[in-house]
Amino acid sequence: MIILVSTLTLTAQYFPSFIGVRSGVSVPYSDFGTGTSVSSNGYAKPGTNYIIEAAHFYSKYGGIGGLVGVNVFNIDIERLGEEYVLDNPFLSKVTIETQPYIVNIYLIGLYFNAPVNNTLISFTSKLMAGNLWVRNPDYIYHYEYSHVASYSIGQVNERQSQFVFYYGIGARVDITKNLGINFDFDYVGSKFEFDYRFMSQNYKIRKRISYISMSLGINYYFQSRY
């Protein structure tokens, strides 16, 4: 399931077809940031997002469009290593090598527009569906056992995708007839089931990939008025 809570959209008495780009900060939400256990491998740090979208409006009130978004989350390996030591008193130290989470969204659907008369402001909403793609990264754990022995265990990354629905609301302000600025505030979340390998054993873990993002962007309008 995806829920996206987007921007206020500020425009004048028109809302033309457009293409836009935006970028900002994505903050891990719930277990994705904290992790429910060391095996869940949440522990995502705040990351960055990059989004490109385009829509064609058949009137000033509605049209169709799509967006593509990429989110990158580094992992708090220091905190994850500390949790491993706390869970196993025989370990004296754990160091971890890993990659960031990559979370992509690919969506198409309906765009709606409600312009505010005699202002540069429009309120907008989106009803969309598409794909949420996640790369659960590689992990290599280097264990120091009771200050005597040491060994390493690797966990291979996994890629999964899910069909999701999306709803968004937002706002934009026009700075010229062909350019506008928008700010987005989004919530995205969906549950995945990943493979987890520990001591040559394979396990299934459920992980909720969810985050709140804030992004600032600019739009180019292909036509100035209807």
Fold of the domain built from segment(s) 18-77+100-136+161-194+205-221? Porin (2.40.160)
With a pLDDT cut of 70, the percent of the chain lying above it is 80
Contacts 24+ apart (CB under 8 A), 201-208: 203/39, 205/39, 205/40, 205/41, 207/31, 207/32, 207/40, 207/41, 207/42, 207/136, 208/30, 208/31, 208/32
Q: Is the pLDDT of residue 127 over 50?
A: yes
| Top-confidence residue, 2 or 80 | 80
pLDDT at 49: 95
| Sheet containing 91-98: order of strands | 91-98, 139-145, 149-155
Band of pLDDT at residue 68, cut at 50, 70 and 90: very high
Residue 86's SS3 state is helix
Tokens describing residue 105? 């969204």
Of 173, 158, 142, give the one whose Cα is nearest residue 207. Answer: 158
Terminal Cα distance for the chain, rounded = 36
Q: Calculate the average pLDDT of the chain.
A: 80
Residue 224 pLDDT exceeds 70: no
The long-range contacts involving 196-201, CB below 8 angstroms and separated by at least 24 positions, are 196/39, 196/41, 196/155, 197/153, 197/154, 197/155, 197/156, 198/39, 198/153, 198/155, 199/153
* pLDDT value at residue 4: 47
Give 207 or 22, the one with higher predicted confidence: 22
Q: In the chain, pLDDT over 90 holds for what percent of residues? A: 25
pLDDT tens digits, 3-18:
444 444 434 445 568 9
SS3 assignment, position 56: strand
Enter the DSSP assignment of 39: G
Closest C-alpha among 214, 175, 181 to residue 21: 181
pLDDT of the residue at 147:
62
User: Looking at the predicted structure, is the pLDDT value of residue 151 above 60?
Assistant: no
Domain residue limits, the chain: 18-77+100-136+161-194+205-221
Residue 222 has a pLDDT of 84
Q: Residue 78 — φ and ψ, nearest 5°?
A: -65, -45
| Residue 154: its H or E element | strand 149-155
Give 131's pLDDT tier (boundaries 50, 70, 90): very high
**Token pair for residue 81?**
């290593």
Question: What number is the average pLDDT over the span 72-80?
Answer: 89
What is the b/e burial string over 132-159, where b = at least 16 CB atoms within 10 angstroms of the residue's CB? bebbbbebebebeeeeeeeeeeebeeee
- 30 closest CA partner among 190, 218, 160, 137: 190
